[in-house]
Amino acid sequence: MSQTQVSTSIQAAKRYAELSQQLSLANPDALDNDTGVAVQAKFITPLDPVIETADGNRLPAVPVEEAHKINALKSKADGQEESLIKCTSQEKEKEKSRLSLLEKDVSAPDDSLDLALPPVTSHPLFPPLPLYGPPSLLRNAHCLFFRITSFFLSTGFLLVIVLGALFTSIPTVCDRVWFWLTFRDPDRTRPFYEEEHRRAAARQREAQKWQQSNKRSKTQHQYREKPDTLNNVSQDKFVPLEGGPDKLVCDARYYARRVGLEMEKFKVQTEDGFIIDLWHLYDPNKQQPHSEKEKGDKGPNIFQNGLQNGENTPPQSKRYPVLLIHGLLQSAGAYCCNDDDSLAFYLHKAGYDVWLGNNRAGFRPQHTLLNYSDPRMWSWNIRQMGVMDLPAFISRVLSETGFHKLGLVAHSQGTTQTFVALAKGQRPGLGEKISVFCALAPAVYAGPLIGKMYFKFMKVISPAMFRIFFGIHAFIPLMMVMHGLLPAKLYGWMGYLVFGFLFNWTDRRWDKGIRDRFFQFAPVYVSSESMRWWLGRECFAKHKCILSTKEEDVQEDSSRDSSAKSSGPLGTTKETGQEKGTPWYDERAPPFAMWIAGSDGLVDGRRLLDRFEQGREPHVNVVRSKVIEEYEHLDVLWAIDSIEKVGSEVKQVIWQTMSKEDRQRCQSIDGVTDTPI
């Protein structure tokens, strides 16, 4: 090595050490045993680098340019050629082509991606996240400022919302009082009035039986009387493990035990170091729970451990895995609070192996290195939930079950992160791990509620003002504090009142007797950056779409209009058969199925359905689409007839889209047919 090369290497090593210090967990001089010392960047996708530390952990949310820089400096300090740092425009085009090929691998990208050129520009819908360095006097003062301002301002904002909800509820309260004073039942006009009374009576009988049995046996586990059937699924083989009056607890396992099932909780580590919860339902009469060691996280690398379990299981003895993903400000408990009409319980009792994913933060934010007060713990939005959380869930479920694919069911924001993850330029290879994607109330296009006054306020203020109002940590954490302080019944009532005010929801189609349960699992911790993506002036609220900007939509609409005379069915030209517009998905997209709430003001599911029907996604096979006119946003989960109108069809679609080999390998599913879609 020449003297010039040695000098260059020394300078690179010095700059590398400085940059490593800026990207580490803390100042390396203050760390012991290299814990959290930045070593290099690892690209999960071309737009999603994370920092690998000397102790094998990960730090999230590093800008692409900084990630490229630390890898280039490390390579140069080690004496390697820095061939990818400076390129001609022709070489840049070759590099872009290579990156597009690397996107085809759903697992960790090729190592050469770590030295790749950073993208010249990012998608306008996914602007770069802010970079927060290790703790310092200036950064700590910066964080403290935002925590103080956001505490007072966001609390004031929340108070305005609560007061608005209380004020707008006055006419409803007055109407109910008038009905009672005139000796009329105000609930008589509810669409499921008789069914609600029948279910309330059934629950009361079950509670009495449970209490009487406990008095006789002195133990809950000797309760063996057959419960009343609340829907058309046979329940006689599932004996309740909990009973009595509803305790109103934020514990999905408790509600699973009330219908004769058990639940275990797995820890999953994402590729950027977050620890997220994955719940698994099982029949305690047929299966033993996993050990605590087996339920622990397996590290940040996904789709690399192979299929661990059940590879040689005899045919017709396995359950096909189904993963459920929840919506914004919710947890997976939303699928578990409606007795046997809960979608999770229904699918398990039908014969599927049901897993429920809880996105990052949830009720208990966890990371391998970061703590709650570190702003890097909260520097994420819908993209990270899509390209990090969802693959981590899918990888773990497939690893535990021994299958190559699974059925994916998502609601609201859960559909958003899936639609984003499967898109070209994100993580499209994930589609090859999914046999069907069932989207409930798909959140792709904004509904009219985005124009409400309080949402407009968030859109009007600048990003800097948004952070002053709502901070750079958790979004209005006072909501979670009140969750732990208020009595469960009061909290459930307030939750319904506030969320109903915000999103124009009603409980007309729900079982009102258990409505307070539904709001025990919401809200949860989310990042202010995530809410800024939804409601701030730059992203979703501005463009009203998760994957297309306003300008792209105008161009595509103009293109379709100009070619209308020469167009064939579904927007294809007669001469070439080429579809108009820019598709979001390629040939790796799994089959899609959609259940759209026709009275949903929060999102516009019909516009998404139009996109598919017009042929703008030629690679997507929509195997089922249904608009339920009377349904609102949450009715697809909680309506009394949701199993009949949604759940039973989800059960059928999953079975019909499974591979022939998986059908032969799995036990039969109650009430499904083999008629191909």
Catalytic positions, written as ranges = 412, 600, 633
Query: How does DSSP classify residue 388?
Result: I
Cα 186 versus chain centre, distance: 37
How far is 23 from 26, CA to CA, in rounded Å? 8
Q: Which residue, among 621, 552, 624, 549, has the nearest Cα to 585 in the 3D structure?
A: 621
How far is 347 from 341, CA to CA, in rounded Å? 10
How far is 164 from 356, CA to CA, in rounded Å? 34
How far is 473 from 71, CA to CA, in rounded Å? 29
Beta bridge partners of 38: 53
Cα→Cα distances 288→168, 262, 280, 291, 508, Å: 50, 10, 12, 9, 40
Three-class SS state of 144: helix
CB 472 within 8 A of CB 375: yes
Three-class SS state of 105: coil
How far is 646 from 444, CA to CA, in rounded Å? 19
DSSP string of 318-342, one letter each residue: BPPEEEEE--TT--GGGGSSSGGGS
Q: Which residue, among 379, 356, 310, 300, has the nearest Cα to 44 in the 3D structure?
A: 300
Three-class SS state of 629: coil
- With tokens 């960047």, the residue in question is 41
How many Cβ atoms sit within 10 Å of the Cβ of residue 70?
Answer: 23
Beta bridge partners of 628: 597
CB 624 within 8 A of CB 649: yes
Cα→Cα distances 507→215, 495, 511, 634, Å: 36, 12, 8, 9
Q: Which residue, among 354, 495, 359, 348, has the nearest Cα to 415 in the 3D structure?
A: 359
Three-class SS state of 410: strand
